[in-house]
Amino acid sequence: MIQILLIIVLAAILVILFRKFKLIGGEVAETSLTVQTPINKKIEVAQGQREAKLKKKLELEKALERVRSLKRKGERDKAEKVLLKLLTLFNQKPEVFYELGLLYLEDKKYENAISALSAATKNDGENGFYFHALGLAYLRHKQFMPAVENLDKALHFNNKIAYRWADLAQALIGLEKFKEAKDAVAQALEIEPHNVRYRSILESLEKKIG
């Protein structure tokens, strides 16, 4: 009798243990626990960093679009204030310096434009638009040598943009390098053969050289 009771008790204990570990029916249930290895942790950290970076990029793009909207409305002082604030919020991103430089360039504040656009090229030395804008700022400020240097750099990144050659021609004219200027504007006309302005510059240069 005692042996039967012991067997029943043991059987009950086994059933409880089986239920606890989800082993009833001979099937092993997967546990929800995951092992955190150093690689898993690194992957999670990298994913978190990518997501944070993407979120910040989207926030910056939205802010820059607001700046462009303010410019279109003629609210240029407000646009400048927003850009200056963005420089502190987004760790002095080159695209913010670029937009600020364009604003100053359009407002004929050439020294300010040169300062902002120089910062853009220093923070990102692989963007031809930054170098072209800086070269144009120097050109408008009658500083022809640095204008030529930066416009040359812009052409290094993309020499299929006609206005870059035309602006380089204007800077070379400022240095009285008329033959080189003629070659530059001829390159612009190869890209845009029907451009009246470029044709006029070429004819003027041909008269000077002749």
Locate the domains of the chain by residue range.
54-158, 160-210
54-158 CATH choice from 3.40.50.12280, 1.10.579.10, 2.40.10.10, 1.25.40.10: 1.25.40.10
Q: What is the pLDDT of residue 25?
A: 45
- What pLDDT sits at residue 24? 42
Sign of the torsion formed by the C-alpha atoms of 96, 99, 104 and 110: positive
Q: Which residues contact 60 (CB under 8 A, 6 or more apart)?
A: 86, 90, 93, 95, 96
**pLDDT reported for residue 37:** 73
Binned average pLDDT, 10 residues per bin, the chain of 210 residues: 62 61 46 60 64 76 94 96 93 93 98 98 97 98 98 98 98 97 98 97 92
Q: Sort 205 into a burial class: Cβ within 10 Å, 0-12 / 13-18 / 19+.
A: buried
Tell me, what's the pLDDT at 61? 92
Q: Which pLDDT value is given to residue 66?
A: 94
